[in-house]
Structure formats: structure tokens, C-alpha cells
Amino acid sequence: MSTVAGTRPAPVEAPSWSERAAAYVALTKPRIIEQLLITTVPTMVVAEHGLPSVWLMVATVIGGTLAAGGANAVNMWWDRDIDAVMKRTARRPLVRGTITPRAAITFAVLIEAGAFLWLALLVNLLSAVLALSATLFYVFVYTLWLKRTSSANIVIGGAAGCVPVLIGWAAVTGKVEAAPWIMFGIIFMWTPPHTWALAYKYREDYRSADVPMLPVVSSMDDTARQIIIYTLLLWALSLVLTPVARMGVVYSVAAIVTGAVFTGYALKLKRDQTEKTAMRLFHYSITYLTILFGAMAVDQFVHWG
């Protein structure tokens, strides 16, 4: 870089304390964690058939947040090369240099270890093991293996995001029964339509980073068809939960109505294969999960008194 004679380039200003703190928070991907917590607490209410102790809910949420945050931080550490290529992720802290890769991976390991100890000591060992297993699956199966090699990346890798319902149930009951596995399946079927709808908008980003998301390697017609299949399976599983978990009218009505609306959005995307329609489906998918799991919790107080 040329400079005016007699002058020197201005030194790069080191990030402030607040910038570094914000960067560490960003490493955990807080918006993804919010979605995990939306499912954990209602699951605990269903397991209890009422309100569990506030301390148990707080302890489980804190442990789950740390575990998910650690896994997300590892993901961001590993993906820093493709994050620099994609416009959507170009301002992430490791790309901008706000924190170093070494600091990021150290932070990730520390909070992951903290999550395991927290859950094991303050909740129960089963919940801690489940949280650790979700992290290992997300890191090794999804992040290190499938994400860059297979269009089935989010289908299989998304299983890690389903484990919080098992953690929540185990926190209350000390075991994992049929009902939380149905909830696991609900989130498992929800993840592909939710992710593929967003990926359709950012398919050029994924293509430039050589990440084989389904909308990148297949036509939108095929993507929309797959979204319909998973949405119908999601709807069916949400209805199966009623007899398995002995849900009442509140949940049953919510499952029927929200599933019908979700299916309607999926069918519309098949007819109108535009980014606008895909994003409407994406945003509704978040609303769907919130309403469905919220209805689970409300149902317990209405159905079980």
C-alpha cells in the first residue's frame, strides 16, 4: 500500500473489551440457541404434567445453553474459511479478526466442559451425557463430515438439534421414554423444510463456498417436493404425540391447525418457486415450532389441571 511521504499507515485498532465480549457471545449463535430453548422448557412441563421446579428449569436451560453454545462455537471455528466467502457470514467474529481461532476453540471447549459438569452436578448425569452426545454428533458428524460432503447434511446432522427435548425430559424424569422420542422426531422432520427454505435464498452463497445444500445441488422443484414430504411427516408425527403423551384438546387443535398451515406454505412453494415464498415458509416454520411447543405446555395446565 502506498503512503504519503513522511507518514505511516495508521495502526489497526485493537478490539475493545465490549467488542470482544460481543464476539464471544456471537460465537455461540444465540438465535439458534433460542430455538432450542423454545423446545426444552415445554418438554419439561409435559414430562411433569405441570410446572417443574423453577430451579430445575433454570439449571437445565443454563446447561443446555452452554452445551449448544460450545457446539456452535466449534462450528464457527471450523467454518471460518467458508464464512469468509459467504456474504451472509462475512461479518462473523473470526472472519473479522475480533478474536483469534485459538481463543475461539479454547472458549468452546471450556464452556462445553462447563456444561457437562453443570448438568451432571445440578440436574442429573443422563442429561449431561445427552448434551455431550449432541455436541459430539454436531461437531463430528455434521460440521466435520456431512456439511461439506453431502446434500443430506442437514437431514442427518439436524439430529443434534433434536436432543434438547431428550435433555429436558431426562432432567424431570431421570429417563427417556417414548413421548420425548416423538418430540425428537417432530424437530427432526421440521429441520429440513426450515433450513432448505432459508438455503434457497442463500443458495449462491452456499455454491460459492462449495457447500452442497439441497437447493444448490438440486432443482427448486425437487427441493420443494422434498419440503412437502418432510412437512407431511412432521404433521403426522405431531398428531401421533397426542395419544403417546396423552395430550389434550389444546395441543391437538394446535397440531392440526399449524400443521395444515405449514403444509399449505409447502404446497405454495411448489407452485411459486420464488425466494419470497421460500422466506415466508422459513419465517412461518419458526412460528410453527413456537406455537406447537407452547401449546404442549399450555395443554398440561388445561388437560391435567
What residues of the chain score a pLDDT lower than 70? 1-13, 305
What is the predicted pLDDT for the residue at 305? 63
Q: What is the pTM of this model?
A: 0.93
CA distances from 66 to 48, 72, 182 (A): 24, 10, 25
Dihedral Cα 111, 90, 146, 175, nearest 10 deg: 30
- Look at residue 9 in the predicted model and tell me its pLDDT: 42
Q: Give the Å distances, CA to CA, from 122 to 38, 40, 119.
A: 21, 16, 5
What CA–CA distance (Å, rounded) separates 194 from 214? 12
Q: Where are the domains of the chain?
A: 27-303
Q: What is the pLDDT of residue 7?
A: 43
For residues 115, 116, 120 and 121, what is the CA-based torsion angle, rounded to 10 degrees?
Answer: -50
End-to-end CA distance of the chain: 72
| pLDDT tens by residue, 112-142 | 999 999 999 999 999 999 999 999 999 999 9
Please give the Cα distance from 49 to 88 (Å, whole number). Answer: 42
CATH code for residues 27-303: 1.10.357.140
Alpha-carbon span 210 to 125, nearest angstrom: 39
pLDDT for the residue 15: 77
